[in-house]
Structure 1
């Protein structure tokens, strides 16, 4: 595994900007999380709380503090009941359904919410941030159902599980198991918080679920760009493709920077020094020849996707905004997750196109009509047993199925806004559903990628055994990947069940195991 994966990343919550990579480090349990103890930071956090306390005790009207929620904002809460309102908010939102988010995803969600609250515009106590810090440091992470958010007013139902856990309720992930929060808190002598006015709303009325997922999705997609380029190079070797399709001079006339980066990576992988491999055809099929144009769409999208995601991550995205410095309560709609919805709808489209590209490469490789002399379905069997063996035939079928499902998931969620909550939330982002869709597309694409990696490796092994490719003709990048695959995958000579091989390879992909271009 790359040494970079093993390093711990410092993540300081002090109101300054965090990166996608820092949220990913939190999600993977590879972060040293610390809440700032700077006096000015603490003073800024507490100033909003002091202003709120002063205002509601003077009978000021503050949405979600002295009023009901959503369409119930016209209902005034008696002063002696104001402090009970946060508990009611997270209680009635305890109706999430579906599968729960994974531990990794839930860590990312908590990290994203803490980043927003640490901006100092949400009216929460420093003590609440300390409780979130403790949960991340001790790896006590809320168990959060995936279903129930329309992405405005933010991720209310999913984030109610964070609020409830801070108060000692519901369940948490602890030591790899789902446990009752109250029992874990009692064991570790953690005092549950009684949420103050506005604190329940501040935790729940934001975009942390979709944003946490978006941070994870971005990094997985970024890695798939590089891995798809490497696999395309392997496929070109296995299919005896034309290396000139990736020539620098060719791509100089179409200057999309990400597309050109992909072409350079593949071109370098197919050369030893300045001597390109020889080829037998003038033009390869599109899934090889146009691979930089397909992968490059995602590579060129990464900068603006990062901008959308990190801007959301580093924003105060609840309502109302509490400006303690100027003593203002600002009512608005910053909980609306439109930027994340658009980013995730766009990302899942670009990622699904990688699945489609690799699936077409797999189809070429397995088919004797198109694979330039390789055995059918890449079987390694010889002699009288060759007709009996079917190699990767079923894997090719599986890759087709995974690709079809990924493509089916690309319908944009953001266009399916539903008016809800007495038509108060009459235009919503659907950002969390878009992010969940994107995670599913990534999983399916990683499955296709695993199949493509193992099959392209097998194809090159067949060429090497037939003396149609020599070891010394392979670039260092290609050679490194072949060695890494060989360390965990055995040449497929006689038919065997490949499920566990595929699952292991998918896991390595998700761990960023394969050394690629950024590791040179």
Structure 2
């Protein structure tokens, strides 16, 4: 649950309330403060789980992951004198992650999602563990987590081991922009390393928090990209002298997918000031213009489903075993299996790649004199005398084609590539974390395509204004404001120049969700 404090920083309370995707993203991006609930019932529930585990260990002495080895090693009994060392061993032998390190926002998102799960009261962790995790946010301590090494069941064991290690003062963290050993960071913050209680390493590591955290970030980016692609389609329609009748509300009442209809309505609103004297170049535009709401609309219509699935996972207990403190029972299951998140990731990346493909086709029309209805080749703004040596956006269009091709290639579903591992104990796994990483890669590539198209549509509309084939009063207030904002970052291209810096700036703007895009009146993730 999110509240605003007196400093206009959001407070996200962990404990009795459910979290939203926005809570996770706000914590990840530094706009929120983590608060551990002081509700007496919540605190009592957490302590009751600890007390039950202690009593069960005393009276029966046999608990999976406490007095047994892990996974396939479940048949291996751990003698009482070694039980205290077992959690530390779990965190240490999983310290084998490779690949790039998660960004600090991504790692903060992982911390938030894991804290939410452990606060559900089914994991048997101590209040001290929850307080130390919360303190990591207060002191800007972020575990450094390699992104590779998880098969998505038994949860994100290897990447989450880096959180367990940081809590006990091992491995490296980032603290206020500086890379330090966890032990030094904890000392600087005035915090004591945690001594892991029985089951606590398992509770931290045995869950779906990495894949869920990455997909919360992906959701926010996909939601913005969905709206941005609609705005870009509006600008491409203007630049190509397209037909605004393709976005008539009566059409979409006949095929009433709500997200699709909303996308069409947004585009129609952008084009509403063209006026009765406007004459489109064609009765029916090519599909990348005419069918744009149908392409973008699939993502818009799936976003509420994606939200429901991700927020259910976010607010779930997903380690093993779970503790039913009311019935005083230990429940052995497989909630660490990340199949739901994997499906969201595989589905979302396919829909996002379709946006890349749509925009790539729009760009191809804009730069080609056979299709762009009077715009110069490659949208070069050079004078006729210098046109022979200027090539405008020729290379940018090639780049966009390359980024699109890679995005499409990465849509192969990861969730069907289960591997039998860990002595065939983990013989069916979700691959959810790989799917989530794929989704983020497809998002990055599609944002790159969008940055190329932003340069193109801005250049094309400026050329149209120079030609006099569009007048400023036909653009409308929202479109005019958006073009003016783009003009802060995109200079008119009258002579060839390197555009890498401009592209990178635009990608940063997209990922920061910099430009306001349409008014959102709903909380279900659809554009409105």
CA separation in 2, counterparts of 1:451 and 1:315? 40
Q: How does 1:469-508 map to 2 (within 5 A)?
A: 469-508=470-509
Q: Is the 8 A contact 2:247 2:268 kept in 1?
A: yes
Contact kept in structure 2, 1:172 and 1:178, CA below 8 Å: yes
Q: Secondary structure at the match of 1:34?
A: strand
Deviation at 1:58, TM superposition (A): 2.0
The separation in 1 between residues aligned to 2:277 and 2:205, in whole angstroms, is 57
Kindly tell me the number of residue pairs found equivalent between the two proteins.
516
**TM-superposed deviation, 1:15:** 3.4
1:139 is aligned to: 140
Distance in 1, matches of 2:119 and 2:183, equals 26
1:420 aligns to what? 421
Deviation digits for residues 173-196 of structure 1 (CA, Å, limit 9, x no counterpart): 122232211111222221100110
In structure 2, the residue matched to 1:366 is 367
Trace 1:156-171 onto structure 2 (pairs within 5 A).
156-171=157-172
Match status 1:327 vs 2:333 = no
2:304: which partner in 1?
A: 303
Aligned: 1:289 with 2:290:
yes
Q: Corresponding residue for 2:524?
A: none
Contact 1:7 1:30 in 2 (8 A): no
Conservation of the 8 A alpha-carbon contact between 1:156 and 1:205: yes
Residue 272 of structure 1 corresponds to 273
- 1:345 is aligned to 346
Question: Partner of 2:459 in structure 1?
Answer: 458
1:200 matched to 2:236: no
Q: CA deviation at 1:7?
A: 5.7
TM-score by length of 2: 0.96
Show CA shifts across 1:89-121 (max 9, x none).
000000000111011111101100000001011
Helix, strand or coil at the partner of 1:271: coil
Are the counterparts in 1 of residues 114 and 209 from structure 2 also a CA contact under 8 Å?
yes
Aligned counterparts of 2:308 and 2:90: Cα–Cα separation in 1: 32
1:246·1:263 contact (CA, 8 Å) conserved in 2? yes
d(CA) in 2 for partners of 1:220 and 1:507?
12
Q: Is the 8 A contact 2:274 2:475 kept in 1?
A: no
Q: Distance in 2 between matches of 1:170 and 1:113?
A: 19
The answer (yes or no) to whether the contact 1:15–1:115 under 8 Å persists in 2 is no
Match of 2:210, SS state, is helix
Q: Is the aligned partner of 1:245 residue 2:246?
A: yes
Q: Tell me how far 1:490 sits from its aligned partner.
A: 0.8
Q: Distance in 2 between matches of 1:276 and 1:316?
A: 61
SS of 1:11 mapped into structure 2: strand
**Superposition CA RMSD, Å:** 1.4
Q: Which residue does 2:152 correspond to in 1?
A: 151
Structure 1, unaligned stretches of length 5 or more?
none
Look up the SS of the partner of 2:519 in the other structure.
helix
Contact 1:152–1:336 under 8 Å retained in 2: yes
**Residues 270-292 of structure 1 deviation map (CA, whole Å, 9 limit, x = unaligned):** 11297584312100000000000
Structure 1 stretches of at least 4 aligned residues deviating more than 6 Å after TM superposition: none
Instruction: Find the counterpart in structure 1 of residue 525 from structure 2.
Output: none
Residue pair 1:320, 1:332 contacting (<8 A) in 2 also: yes
| Partner SS state of residue 518, structure 1 | coil
SS of the aligned residue for 1:322 comes to strand
Confirm or deny: 8 A CA contact 1:480 1:515 kept in the other structure. Answer: no
In 2: Cα distance, 1:105 partner to 1:453 partner: 27
Does the alignment pair 1:74 with 2:75?
yes
Partners of 1:8 and 1:31 within 8 A in 2: yes
CA–CA distance in structure 2, aligned partners of residues 414 and 60 of structure 1: 38
Q: Distance in 2 between matches of 1:275 and 1:146?
A: 55
- Structure 1 pair 239/13, CA: closer, same or farther in 2 (3 Å)? same
Task: Look up the match of 1:216.
Answer: 217
Contact 1:379/1:392, CA 8 A, preserved across alignment: yes
Query: Is residue 8–residue 25 contact of structure 1 (8 Å, CA) maintained in 2?
Result: no
CA contact (8 A) 1:348 1:410 kept: yes
CA deviations over 1:151-172 (Å, ceiling 9, x no partner): 0000000000000000011011
Shift of 1:267: 0.6
| Pairing of 1:170-209 with structure 2 (within 5 A) | 170-209=171-210
Match of residue 44 from structure 2? 43
* Corresponding position: 1:12 with 2:13: yes
Contact kept, 8 Å, 1:146 with 1:158, in 2: the verdict is yes
Task: Say which SS state the counterpart of residue 98 (structure 1) adopts.
Answer: strand
Checking the alignment, whether the CA contact within 8 Å between 1:65 and 1:198 is kept in structure 2 is yes
More deviation in 80-89 or 148-157? Answer: 80-89
- Going from structure 1 to structure 2, the CA distance change for 1:325 and 1:396 (only over 3 Å counts) comes to same
Q: Using the TM superposition, give the Cα deviation of residue 27 of structure 1 relative to its aligned residue in structure 2, in angstroms.
A: 0.7
Question: In the TM superposition, what whole-angstrom CA distance separates every residue of 1:304-347 from its partner, at most 9, and x where no partner exists?
Answer: 00011000000000000011222110000000000000000000
Query: Which residue is equivalent to 2:125?
Result: 124
Q: Does 1:388 align with 2:389?
A: yes
CA contact (8 A) 2:274 2:474 kept: no
SS of 2:61's partner is coil
Q: Deviations over 1:459-513 (max 9, x none)?
A: 0000001111110111222111101101121111111110000000000000111
Instruction: Give 3-state SS (helix, strand or coil) of 1:178's partner.
Output: strand
Distance 2:398 2:234 in 1: 22
Q: Secondary structure at the match of 2:180?
A: strand
Give the secondary structure class of the aligned counterpart of 2:415: helix
Q: Specify whether residues 113 and 353 from structure 1 end up closer, same or farther in structure 2 by C-alpha distance, changes over 3 A only.
A: same
- Measured after TM superposition, the shift of residue 10 of structure 1 is 2.0
Query: TM-score normalised to the size of structure 1?
Result: 0.97
